[in-house]
Amino acid sequence: MFETFQILAFDLGKVSYSRISTNHYIIKLFKITSNLVLNKNEVIKLPKIIWHSLVIILGAAAIACGFNWFLVPHQLLSGGVSGISMLLGYFTNLNLSIMYFVLNIPLLIAGWFILGRRFIILSIVSVAATSWFIGLLPVSAVATDPILSCVFGGVLVGIGTGVSFRVGGSTGGLDIVGSIFTRNRDFPIGTVMAGMNGAIILLAGYLNNNWNTALASMVSIYVTGKVLDLIHISHVKVTLYIITNETEAMLKKLLTRPRGVTKIKTQGAYTDIEKDMLMTVTTRYELVEIKRIIKETDPKAFVNIVETVGVMGSFRRS
């Protein structure tokens, strides 16, 4: 795998910065990705991976629209790798889509060994698709006001990044660093990324002595982080208390999930009838699936859902 990326990076170093070369090497990376073999524990069903890839491609299109229609026309910056790519594009003749693609390669390699193949394969799809859309879409200002552009550009980038995380991937760059940082911690990933990206923007403002652009870019990054946290909600924990007459059937389905379940004997104060109460802690993202299981198994079950402030101990966060 590492040798494959080395060969690809070497080839990219020899290309001319043109849209044709961008498309050629993105297609080449897609072919490399399609030949990757997953571990037995990381097998993905074909229809599911296709669906996730389509969602990520739509997210990539949203990110490219945010760049080419809102941020780039006003010389605004995004954060992380995309922000560095924009800086290089503003002050040199280097192609933005090429630089975004090339600068992501070392982070994708690092993420491959730390975060797992499934996450990085979907991230490769996102990086390749975003690079292609950036090269395809014309740079045209939708809004003439830089403040409106930084807000709506941030919303589009946040949506694109959020849906990529929602299906188990990322958009590359500092998304991968943020995923590594929050892997075993209950921090909102959008907040973590906004902090890292903000540091880069402040440095760019200092070096370029243009604080208007830097501050407007900070607004865009803040909006992106907030939208991302609204979509990617795996850091929000909830506790379910389920009182049911179908204990064994419920446990059979709940225990197939990566969350523990505690069985508690209860007794109704009014009816004096003994029942089982199941308690489980999960993420808000997984809550929809658990609700479906409860309704299918015991539609008459009484369920109390409480937002959890924090979790200590062996709670699986990935």
Q: Do 113 and 256 share a structural domain?
A: no
Total number of domains in the chain:
2
Could you tell me the two tokens for 50? Answer: 């296709």
Cα separation values, 139 from 77, 102, 176, 187, Å: 14, 21, 27, 35
Could you tell me the two tokens for 234? Answer: 């795996």
Phi and psi at 241, nearest 5°, equal: -110, 110
Q: Do 66 and 6 share a structural domain?
A: yes
What domain range is 297 assigned to? Answer: 237-308
Domain end call among 182, 209, 231:
231
Domain end call among 231, 249, 268:
231
Q: Do 181 and 157 share a structural domain?
A: yes
Q: Which residues contact 234 (CB under 8 A, 6 or more apart)?
A: 283, 284, 285, 286, 317
Local confidence pLDDT in tens for the 318 residues of the chain? 444 444 444 444 444 334 445 555 555 544 544 444 444 444 444 577 788 889 999 999 999 999 999 999 998 888 778 888 888 888 788 899 999 999 989 888 887 877 767 778 888 899 999 999 999 999 999 999 999 999 999 999 999 988 887 777 777 777 677 666 655 565 565 666 667 777 777 777 777 777 888 888 889 988 988 888 788 765 678 899 999 989 999 998 888 877 889 999 988 888 888 888 999 988 776 777 888 899 999 998 999 999 887 777 666 555
Could you tell me the two tokens for 226? Answer: 């907030």
Q: Do 252 and 213 share a structural domain?
A: no
Taking the C-alpha atoms of residue 132 and residue 27, their distance in angstroms, rounded to an integer, is 10
Q: Do 139 and 69 share a structural domain?
A: yes
Could you tell me the two tokens for 291? Answer: 């609700």
Q: Do 206 and 267 share a structural domain?
A: no
Does residue 74 contact residue 141 with C-beta atoms inside 8 Å? yes
Residue identified by tokens 């730390």 is 114
Q: Do 266 and 189 share a structural domain?
A: no
Q: Do 275 and 180 share a structural domain?
A: no
Q: Which pTM value belongs to this model? A: 0.65
Mutual angle of helices 46-66 and 146-166, in 10-degree steps: 170
Taking the C-alpha atoms of residue 158 and residue 166, their distance in angstroms, rounded to an integer, is 12
